[in-house]
Amino acid sequence: MKRYCLALDLKDDPALIAEYERWHKAIWPEIRQSILGAGITVMDIYRFGNRLFMIMETDDSFSFERKAAMDRANPFVQEWEQLMWKYQQDIPGAGPGEKWVLMDRIFSLQQKS
């Protein structure tokens, strides 16, 4: 199992943020299946203001490249991503067209120095 943490910013508009959260309370079954099918076993999204943090745990079959290829081939994912872009904006430091940005772990209580 591996764990990844990613960040993304939403547009700083309370009405859009509320709408974004409503979409995620009723995520499409095809999106849920695409996440599970990519080898993601746990996915949690947290929000502070307009900043989102996603924590993913994956099995050994997961890779970001494989997930991206699966997403490009899935019309439901393409539609979902297009819809979600209404609420999202580039996070500072993201590359062109990059949404969720992988975060670097800088501390772990379980690791010894």
DSSP string, 47-100: EETTEEEEEEEE-TT--HHHHHHHHHT-HHHHHHHHHHTTTEEPPTTPPTT--S
pLDDT digits (tens, 9 = 90+) for 50-90: 999 999 999 999 999 999 999 999 999 999 999 999 999 98
pLDDT at 54: 98
pTM: 0.90
Q: Which CATH class, in words, describes the domain spanning 2-102? A: alpha beta
